[in-house]
Structure 1
Amino acid sequence: MKILVMGAGAVGGYFGARLQAAGEDVTLVARGAHLEAIRKNGIRLESGLGNLTQPIAATDTPADAGPADIVMFLVKLYDTAEAVEAIRPVVGAGTVVIPFQNGISARGALTEAFGVARVGGGVAYIGAEVEAPGVVRHSSSFARVVFGPFAATARAPLAALSAAFGRSGAEHALVDDINRQIWEKFIFLSAFSAITCLTRLPIGPVLADPASRELFRAAMAETLAVAMLHEPSVDPGIVEARMEMLSAPGSAGMKSSMLFDLERGRRLEVAELSGKVVALGADAGIPTPVHRAAFAALSPWRSGNPLAG
């Protein structure tokens, strides 16, 4: 099948390469030095699940790829509006766009642009970073995507994508409760991003210290309270389940993608993560003091390092 990966950073690069290696027709949308390295040398994965150097089509102009069966939408949350316009030429009558982003806001923008039948939902679970142009280092013991339809989503392209992931060997699931999955990821990711950025630490040392451990737990609990108003099927035990997951061997070195961005002086998604929790909490009368503090403390970094020239 024909797959466009809109935003081929670490996550898009990893799964795009696995799909291409399995024989799918994949085009990565990237830019700058990363794009040039992929064009010249292919994309290289350094992974405990198997290293790979994969020749693959890459462009900075989605229209060059032609109509797609699936668009895996992976741009940063603050780039959503621009990316929606960029993919218009590739979204046809049989296309489904699946956002695999960190937050919860892309669905609305994509549905407004392309209609309810053309938009599904997805979440990705992986620790990875672009270590050098054209090189993705996969640092977690897991790499999994979960995706599925909303009520009116065209289902055939999703079934075809599930089959493609099956051929690739990548762990995946096609589910009927994707909205719950998205909210449960947001509960974890909003807190994980906030607390690793505030402490400038991977999750291991955060959980090893009693005070920061409880701060992380409290941040997840705030997002859980907000999430249950919007998706009542969310598992109320999700906070403890994620605490247990992160205590497993091999998880201590995990960092959020937002911390990688902070360390490199890049823009942060804090307005779309902690800021979104604060806004939804305010609308519902739910206190969100941890996320409010995180948003305030990280706000000067929203556009990158404020001390950079």
Structure 2
Amino acid sequence: MFAARSGLIGCGYGGDDMKIAIMGAGALGGYFGARLAQAGHDVWFIARGAHLAAMQAGGLRVISPKGDMVLDPVQAVGDPAEVGVADVVLFMVKNRDVESAGDQIHPMLGPETFVVTCQNGVSAWERLGTAIGAERVVPGVARIPGEISEPGVIRHTAPMDTLIFGETDGSRSARVDRLHEALAAAGTTPVVAGNILHELWGKFCSQSALATLTTLMQCDIGPIRDCPESAKLFRDAIAEAERVGRAVVDGLPEDMLERDWAFVSSLPPTMHASMLDDFRRGKPLEHEYLSGDVVRLGARHGVPTPIHSVLYAALKPAADRLAAG
């Protein structure tokens, strides 16, 4: 294990350090922010509750197969106004908080600031664009397993730490190149997508099925895959979401279902969606932005969604109860 202190110039960015705000410094934001801070960037973590208090008192610890680290002290605050203008905001709040957090980040937005969304689902980038201006938003897709194992401690549970992002028009901009270089030099796995909407839907179709099924069945992915009946349900739910996607986005890859199922098949049997963890901890669910969006977008575009309609309805009473607190 090694210690890295905020403000020290480390390896990686050749003097062109960035000021980076992590809006929602949970497992995802905390991990990427810690790697970027270790590489010498001016990283600010915006968090709340016990996790924020622990970081302010004792720093941020990351336990990872790619190398443990401790940031102490760490620039952790509860109010984005304390950060000032950032070069980039990694926007890693829960889906249900997109609108409220979008209003809160205005003090961090300068003329050139851009914001990378990393929520599950396919709607967050458009919703945030309504709050701060679509030209500022760069949609992203994160593929990284991790959790806050205790306040101030993030456990990264597998070597995968991919962050995919890109301009919505498919162009290769200087701002995404700069962030790509920073993340790569920090030891993570960034990818600039040629078609970020395809990437969003590629994850969404499998994630919408995975999250709802593991939460409803209260189990890891292994037993679901091992049972022929539930495995067929899983694959059919992905296929149904992809049919909706083809009505929404042009040119989704023809082999998308096979690629999605190959990815699902490669996951460790003990893996489950974070929505199941939220359910077990009594936290609100992202159910509306997963199967819920499949159902609503299907209805809007005239695509039947019998599987996700059942999954959505079956989970809704519990989701409503948790949302009500």
Question: What residue in structure 1 maps to residue 295 of structure 2?
Answer: 278
Question: What residue in structure 1 maps to residue 67 of structure 2?
Answer: 50
Q: CA deviation at 1:203?
A: 1.1
Question: What residue in structure 1 maps to residue 21 of structure 2?
Answer: 4
Structure 1 position 300 matched with structure 2 position 317: yes
Q: Does the CA-based 8 Å contact 1:265-1:304 persist in structure 2?
A: no
Question: What residue in structure 2 maps to residue 40 of structure 1?
Answer: 57
**In structure 2, distance between residues paired with 1:244 and 1:185:** 12
Q: Which string of whole-angstrom CA distances, capped at 9 and with x for unpartnered residues, describes residues 247-277 of structure 1?
A: 33x6212111111101111000101111110
Structure 1 position 146 matched with structure 2 position 164: yes
**In structure 1, distance between residues paired with 2:61 and 2:27:** 11
Question: What residue in structure 2 maps to residue 251 of structure 1?
Answer: 268
Greater than 4 Å deviation, 4+ residue runs = 303-308
Task: Name the amino acid aligned to 2:262.
Answer: E
Q: Does the CA-based 8 Å contact 1:268-1:304 persist in structure 2?
A: no
Question: What residue in structure 2 maps to residue 171 of structure 1?
Answer: 189
Task: Name the amino acid aligned to 1:8.
Answer: A
For these two proteins, the number of residue pairs brought into alignment is 307
Structure 1 position 227 matched with structure 2 position 245: yes
Q: CA deviation at 1:290?
A: 1.9
**In structure 1, distance between residues paired with 2:78 and 2:323:** 28
Task: Name the amino acid aligned to 1:6.
Answer: M
Change (3 A) 1:64 1:153: farther
Q: Percent same amino acid among aligned pairs?
A: 40
Structure 2 counterpart SS, 1:120? strand
Change (3 A) 1:77 1:90: same
Q: CA deviation at 1:226?
A: 0.5
Q: Does the CA-based 8 Å contact 2:166-2:196 persist in structure 1?
A: yes
Q: Which string of whole-angstrom CA distances, capped at 9 and with x for unpartnered residues, describes residues 120-163 of structure 1?
A: 11100011111111111122341110111123989322221111
**In structure 2, distance between residues paired with 1:23 and 1:220:** 41
Structure 1 position 189 matched with structure 2 position 207: yes
Unaligned runs of 5+ in 2: 1-17
Structure 2 counterpart SS, 1:205? helix
Q: Which string of whole-angstrom CA distances, capped at 9 and with x for unpartnered residues, describes residues 88-135 of structure 1?
A: 111111101110100111222222233332111110001111111111
Question: What residue in structure 1 maps to residue 11 of structure 2?
Answer: none
Q: Does the CA-based 8 Å contact 1:277-1:288 persist in structure 2?
A: yes
Q: CA deviation at 1:305?
A: 4.3
**In structure 2, distance between residues paired with 1:210 and 1:217:** 11
Structure 2 counterpart SS, 1:85? helix
Q: Which string of whole-angstrom CA distances, capped at 9 and with x for unpartnered residues, describes residues 279-307 of structure 1?
A: 11112222212211111111122245499
Using the size of structure 2 for normalisation, the TM-score is: 0.89
Structure 2 counterpart SS, 1:3? strand
**In structure 1, distance between residues paired with 2:178 and 2:119:** 21
Task: Name the amino acid aligned to 1:105.
Answer: S
Question: What residue in structure 2 maps to residue 60 of structure 1?
Answer: 78
Question: What residue in structure 1 maps to residue 39 of structure 2?
Answer: 22
**In structure 2, distance between residues paired with 1:245 and 1:112:** 33
Question: What residue in structure 2 maps to residue 161 of structure 1?
Answer: 179
Task: Name the amino acid aligned to 1:297.
Answer: A
Q: Does the CA-based 8 Å contact 1:224-1:236 persist in structure 2?
A: no
Residues 178-187 or 134-143, more deviating: 134-143
Structure 2 counterpart SS, 1:53? strand
Structure 2 counterpart SS, 1:136? strand
Question: What residue in structure 2 maps to residue 264 of structure 1?
Answer: 281
Unaligned runs of 5+ in 1: none
Structure 1 counterpart SS, 2:120? coil
Structure 2 counterpart SS, 1:302? helix
Question: What residue in structure 2 maps to residue 210 of structure 1?
Answer: 228
Q: Does the CA-based 8 Å contact 1:219-1:290 persist in structure 2?
A: yes
Using the size of structure 1 for normalisation, the TM-score is: 0.94
Change (3 A) 1:149 1:279: same
